[in-house]
Amino acid sequence: MIYPFVEKPLPVDFETADGIFRAYRLLKERGGYEKLSKEEKEFVASFFSEVNRPEAYREGIYRCVGWVVDFRPFLRRFLVCHKHYGWSEIWAFNRTTLRKNSANPSGILEIIEIPKRGA
């Protein structure tokens, strides 16, 4: 889902825009992360780095030029225990991308998937 978070966001052509909007388009067109090629998966996952985009890494949303790109329909929710700062909730495509995009993957002690409601 893409929606504005400011009163007058910059105009964006979502059908041709590159970057984060292209990543969202790929997920939507292909029907999820699992159906992407390896290169496409790497491209999409690159936007969820804890170092560069902690909000995207933790919450599954990405803010860009006045727009919110909400990836949560394509993500799974995990409860993660880190040896330095305890438990936190993180949205990721899977455990591998969660660890790969973490600032300190060796500090992750446990990962528990939180099931979707009604599942």
Q: What is the tens place of the pLDDT at every residue in 6-53? A: 998 888 887 878 889 999 999 999 999 999 999 999 999 999 999 888
119: pLDDT confidence band, cut at 50, 70 and 90?
Answer: low
Classified as helix, coil or strand, 28 is: helix
Condensed to tens digits (0 to 9), the pLDDT of residues 17-26 reads: 888 999 999 9
108 pairs with which residues across the strands? 82
Mean pLDDT of 80-97: 94
Mean pLDDT of 61-85: 93
Q: Which strands, in side-by-side order, build the sheet including 61-64?
A: 2-4, 67-70, 61-64
Average pLDDT of the chain to the nearest whole number: 91
CA distances from 33 to 5, 8, 37, 59, 81 (A): 25, 31, 9, 17, 24
Q: Does the structure show a pLDDT above 70 at 118?
A: no
Distance CA 2, CA 83 (A): 35
Condensed to tens digits (0 to 9), the pLDDT of residues 52-62 reads: 889 999 999 99
Distance CA 107, CA 31 (A): 32
Mean pLDDT of 99-105: 93
pTM recorded for the entire structure: 0.84
The tokens for 71 are 């990836």
